[in-house]
Amino acid sequence: MASQWNSGINDRKLKEEICEIGRRVYNKGFAAANDGNISIRVGENEVLCSPTMICKGFMTPDDICAVDMEGVQIAGKRKRTSEVLLHLAIMKHRPDVKAVVHCHPPHATAFAVAREPIPQCILPEIEVFMGEVPIAPYETPGGHAFANTVVPFLKNGTNTIILTNHGTVTFGKTLEDAYWKTEILDAYCRILLLSKQLGRVTYLDERESVELLDLKKKLGFDDPRFHVENCDLCSNSAFRDGYKENQLQPKAFEAPPVYAGYLERQKAAPAAPAKPAAAAEPDMETLVKLITEQVLAAMSK
């Protein structure tokens, strides 16, 4: 799949990428029949998207259509999906986002239907590669009101949002990046549900949680907990201001531990000793090895 962005609504390679992601979504069981939609921004005012009423596993490049940033269709034989307004709302508020995937992965959607917050501080990969997953309020899919439900949760680096009683929307710099977020989230939700069947989930302790956030920062990933002063590490509070009504409380899973906010901890930590001028920065291979060892060590505890 292409790793570079190309401009133009007639770019066949990008249309093929949309079709490939559609096949992955369909084959994983994330979109039954005509469910789901996929988009990629190809210019300042042009977005390629999947059409309405088509199975994502059987699309061809000729099926892909294009809209402007207001949702007006500007190309394509088929009618654009009505839910492209959701994609456009995300792109307008997050210029770094170039691709959006919306679908209904079963395990994650179960949390959407139960209106159960996704627990944090459990799995290292989720802490490093995803972080807190907010739950947008319900609106009838397809219109501007539905699209606007995600807007309060787009700040501070989030890349994954659960849509109440509906599904998920994930986004990133590339189509593959956006899709991976869906796959990671659904796998995590499946692990949570299986763990619940065994009896309970076990939360990471305070030190382990902080170490994972430190690792995330070293890797260059953003996280809402890096920006929100009063956000606790594991208590689903980074998006507190985004909820117009009361924030959802856990019912199926026990309440997570309340650890002090990451920013407060960083302020209270003693200053690191100055590094000698002659000290060399580790090369990328050494850095990757160090990070891998830290993640494996955390997972083995």
Kindly report the CATH number assigned to the domain that includes residue 188. 3.40.225.10
Range of the domain at 120: 12-198
173 and 214 in one domain?
A: no
**pLDDT, tens digit, for every residue of 165-178?**
999 999 999 999 99
pLDDT at 285: 63
**pLDDT, tens digit, for every residue of 190-213?**
999 999 999 989 999 999 999 999
Do residues 242 and 224 lie in contact, with contact meaning Cβ atoms separated by under 8 Å? Answer: no
191 and 78 in one domain?
A: yes
pLDDT at 296: 62
Tell me, yes or no, whether 3 lies in a domain: no
Residue 148 pLDDT greater than 90, yes or no: yes
Tokens of 41: 């921004």
pLDDT band at 154, cuts 50/70/90?
A: very high
167 and 41 in one domain?
A: yes
| Sign of CA pseudo-dihedral 188, 201, 128, 265 | positive
Tell me, yes or no, whether 174 lies in a domain: yes
Helix or strand holding residue 48 (H, E): strand 46-49
Domain termination site, one of 198, 215, 239: 198
Residue 7 pLDDT greater than 60, yes or no: no
Tell me, yes or no, whether 274 lies in a domain: no
pLDDT band at 286, cuts 50/70/90?
A: low
Residue 125, classed as helix, strand or coil, is helix
Taking the model in full, what pTM does it have? 0.84
Helix or strand holding residue 100 (H, E): strand 99-103
178 and 250 in one domain?
A: no
Considering its fold, how many domains does the chain have in total?
2
User: β-strands 160-163, 99-103: how paired?
Assistant: unpaired
Tell me, yes or no, whether 6 lies in a domain: no
pLDDT at 273: 54
Tell me, yes or no, whether 276 lies in a domain: no
